């Protein structure tokens, strides 16, 4: 074919796909609107976090970024004919399953991730693998709509504290570290949750993914740049914390804290971002006028051609998506109606060699167990003056607002004056953590979860067991036990807790007796 005829043929091909594109876009837009409406509570919960939490304020920009990414690809994508693809229903079912697991376990991260993933999964069903491949990065970037990162706070606190104390020592300032607390001549400093740097790390990773896709073509450079986006914010946050402590030695802790609060915010993030971009600028290898995708390569790809053979019709695919969503919602509603039978009352049992005494802590400590059906808090003492505090909570079910392992639940109650210091010594089938109130009162707390035959200190293991029971529509109560002791002169908390556990016998069986379920 002569070149001039080839050029004339291209518009007619585009005209031939225009009607197909209109139908596909209407179907996809309608499916997205229906899915967002069906799972509106999850989208509203996400939006509340985007708006209210400084950790997730950057997500307010993500929808606009996704729209811009699609706009950048519009010309090339329009050259690819959409085609419904029934195997995409597997991805839609997986997204629905993820949402269901989150709903059944009361795990918002899974619920929200599932709600978001339903959108690209439905696009895969309705537009087909070629169009999905052309829009793969914008669809993948939708993952940043999900508020995640709170689980990174404790390790980031620990990393920041260790980096900070190392820099303080290099500055010839005497300092002692205890978990996330750093004691210096100018005062005691805490690497609090707000100082962990998690919000800047998450925002930098989101920015880094965007820049890596838009400004780089080489995968090696993209990976190196993403590594920079992870390492530099962590190091910079350690330097910032060190600067505050260093300044405090000369101008006082209060004034240094004021300066830190003045610069610690999006100004700090902007400086870190400028530094990372400045380091990477000269290595950008994508020209400004380079197309974001190659539609001809996507059209000619034999793997996509093979996949596309499993086509389908638009209306049956829409119906299948609707059935998947309705089925998942119905199953979760059925599971939400389950509740284990509860005793009228529960009581702290007798423990050989220990007696109940008045609860009179050095600093008031009371764990949180929101939504529990029963809860108890009391103190035991033995003949040698050892004292152990026992907190027990019993739940008929686990759901939003009544989760034994939910955020802010358990031994460390937010805004209670108590702070997490570090993990404590290992305990069988549980976990321990060291807490501190002010600068003097220390407490060791051991946490145990119980449901069915499971006894664990892992919140993840508890969630998995709750999911299993609700998927099978089984009614099992959930129990939370926290054994705790204050550190007193000549009375190690760990030793008192060990002796108490020995006296109670098997911890799981003791919890069952307390709950009167067996």
User: Would you state the pLDDT for residue 108?
Assistant: 86
In a domain, residue 347? The reply is no
Q: Measured between alpha carbons, how far is 60 from 48 in angstroms, rounded to an integer?
A: 10
Asked whether the predicted pLDDT for residue 14 surpasses 70, the reply is no
Distance CA 513, CA 347 (A): 10
| pLDDT computed for residue 261 by the predictor | 61
CA distances from 158 to 28, 75, 162, 167, 423 (A): 45, 48, 6, 14, 10
Q: Among residues of the chain, what percentage have pLDDT more than 70?
A: 93
455-477 pLDDT, tens digit per residue, is 999 998 998 898 888 888 888 89
Q: Do 414 and 274 sit in the same domain of this protein?
A: no
The SS3 call for residue 483 is strand
Instruction: Please compute the mean of the pLDDT values over residues 493-510 and round it to a whole number.
Output: 95
Arithmetic mean of pLDDT, 24-48: 95
The H-assigned helical ranges of 301-437 are 302-308, 314-336
User: What was the pLDDT predicted at 2?
Assistant: 37
Query: pLDDT grade, residue 489 (50/70/90)?
Result: confident
Phi, psi (rounded to 5 degrees) for 386: -70, 145
| pLDDT score of 68 more than 80 | yes
**pTM for this structure?**
0.78
Q: For residues 359 and 322, state if they share a domain.
A: no
276 domain-assigned: yes
pLDDT surpasses 60 at 182: yes
What is the rounded CA–CA span in Å between residue 279 and residue 273?
A: 10
pLDDT above 80: residue 258: no
Average pLDDT over residues 475-484: 94
348 close to 514: Cβ distance less than 8 angstroms: yes
pLDDT at 377 over 80: yes
Give yes or no: residues 383 and 507 share one domain.
yes
> Does one domain contain both 391 and 461?
yes
| 503 and 373 housed in the same domain | yes
Between CA 506 and CA 483, with CA 462 as vertex, the angle to 5 degrees is: 45
Is 205 found in the same domain as 133?
no
DSSP secondary-structure letter at 420? E
Q: What percent of the chain has pLDDT over 90?
A: 60
With 80 as the cut, is the pLDDT of residue 17 above it?
no
Statement: residue 331 has pLDDT above 60: yes
Q: Give the pLDDT of residue 265.
A: 64
Of 250, 283, 316, which residue constitutes the final position of a domain?
283
pLDDT in tens, 197-206: 888 899 999 9
Would you say residue 349 lies in a domain? Answer: no
The residue segments making up the domain with residue 125 are 13-148+301-336
Question: Are 36 and 157 within one domain?
Answer: no
User: Could you read off the pLDDT of 353-375 as tens digits, one per residue?
Assistant: 999 999 999 999 999 999 999 99
Residues near 374 by beta carbon (within 8 Å), at least 6 away in sequence: 342, 343, 345, 346, 392, 393, 394, 515
Whole-number pLDDT of residue 12: 40
**320 and 276 both lie in a single domain:** no
Contacts of 314 (CB under 8 A, 6+ apart): 23, 24, 27, 84, 126
Residues 196 and 251 in one domain: yes
Measure the CA–CA gap between 141 and 291, rounded to whole angstroms.
18
Query: What mean pLDDT do residues 15-38 have?
Result: 88
Average pLDDT, rounded, for the chain: 88
Q: pLDDT band at 6, cuts 50/70/90?
A: very low
Residue 342 falls within a domain, yes or no? no
pLDDT tens per residue across span 104-152:
877 888 999 999 999 999 999 999 999 999 999 999 999 999 999 888 8
Please report the pLDDT score of residue 266 as a whole number: 66
Count the domains in the chain.
3
Residue 422 is predicted with a pLDDT of 86
pLDDT digits (tens, 9 = 90+) for 237-253: 888 888 888 888 877 76
Residue 260 and residue 211 share a domain: yes
pLDDT at 1 over 50: no
pLDDT band at 256 (very low <50, low <70, confident <90, very high): low
128 and 194 in a single domain? The answer is no
In a domain, residue 291? The reply is: no
pLDDT of 158 over the 60 cut: yes
- Co-location of 92 and 133 in the same domain: yes
Give the tens place of pLDDT for each residue, 270-300.
888 898 999 899 999 988 888 888 889 999 9
């Amino acid at each position: 074919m002569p070149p001039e005829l080839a050029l004339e043929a291209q518009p007619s091909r585009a005209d031939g796909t225009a009607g197909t594109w209109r139908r596909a876009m209407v179907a996809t837009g309608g499916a997205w609107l229906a899915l967002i409406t069906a799972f509106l509570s999850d989208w509203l919960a996400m939006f509340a976090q985007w708006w209210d939490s400084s950790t997730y304020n950057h997500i307010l920009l993500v929808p606009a970024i996704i729209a811009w990414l699609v706009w950048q690809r519009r010309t090339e994508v329009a050259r690819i004919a959409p085609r419904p693809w029934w195997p995409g229903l597997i991805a839609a079912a997986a997204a629905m399953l993820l949402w269901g697991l989150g709903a059944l376990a009361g795990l918002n991260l899974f619920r929200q991730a599932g709600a978001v993933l339903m959108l690209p999964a439905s696009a895969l069903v309705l537009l087909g693998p070629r169009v999905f491949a052309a829009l793969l990065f914008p669809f993948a970037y939708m993952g940043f709509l999900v508020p995640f990162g709170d689980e990174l706070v404790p390790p980031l606190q620990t990393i920041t504290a260790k980096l900070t104390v190392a820099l303080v020592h290099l500055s010839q300032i005497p300092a002692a570290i205890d978990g996330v607390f750093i004691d210096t001549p100018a005062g005691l400093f805490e690497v609090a949750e707000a100082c962990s740097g998690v919000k800047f790390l998450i925002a930098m990773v989101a920015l880094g993914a965007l820049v890596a896709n838009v400004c780089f073509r080489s995968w090696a450079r993209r990976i190196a740049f993403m590594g920079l986006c992870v390492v530099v914010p962590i190091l910079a946050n350690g330097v910032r914390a060190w600067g505050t402590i260093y300044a405090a030695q000369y101008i006082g802790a209060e004034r240094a804290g004021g300066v830190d609060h003045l610069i610690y915010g999006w100004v700090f993030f902007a400086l870190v971002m400028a530094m990372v971009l400045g380091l990477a600028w000269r290595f950008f290898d994508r020209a400004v006028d380079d197309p974001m995708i190659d539609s001809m390569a996507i059209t000619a790809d034999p793997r996509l051609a093979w996949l596309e053979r499993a086509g389908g019709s638009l209306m049956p695919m829409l119906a299948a998506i609707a059935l998947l969503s309705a089925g998942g919602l119905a199953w979760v509603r059925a599971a939400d109606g389950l509740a284990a039978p509860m005793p009228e009352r529960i009581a702290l049992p007798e423990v050989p060699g220990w007696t109940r005494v008045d609860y009179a802590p050095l600093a008031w400590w009371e764990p949180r167990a929101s939504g529990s059906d029963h809860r108890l808090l009391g103190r035991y003492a033995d003949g040698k003056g050892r004292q152990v505090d026992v907190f027990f909570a019993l739940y008929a079910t686990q759901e939003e607002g009544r989760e034994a392992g939910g955020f802010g639940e358990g031994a460390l109650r937010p805004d209670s004056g108590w702070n997490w210091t570090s993990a404590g010594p290992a305990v069988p089938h549980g976990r321990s953590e060291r807490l501190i109130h002010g600068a003097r009162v220390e407490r060791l707390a051991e946490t145990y979860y119980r449901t069915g035959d499971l006894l664990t200190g892992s919140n993840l293991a508890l969630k998995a067991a709750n999911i299993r029971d609700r998927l099978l529509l089984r009614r099992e109560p959930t129990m939370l036990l926290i054994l705790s002791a204050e550190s007193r002169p000549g009375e190690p908390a760990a030793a008192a807790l060990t002796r108490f556990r020995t006296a109670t016998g098997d911890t799981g069986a003791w919890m069952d007796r307390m709950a009167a379920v067996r």
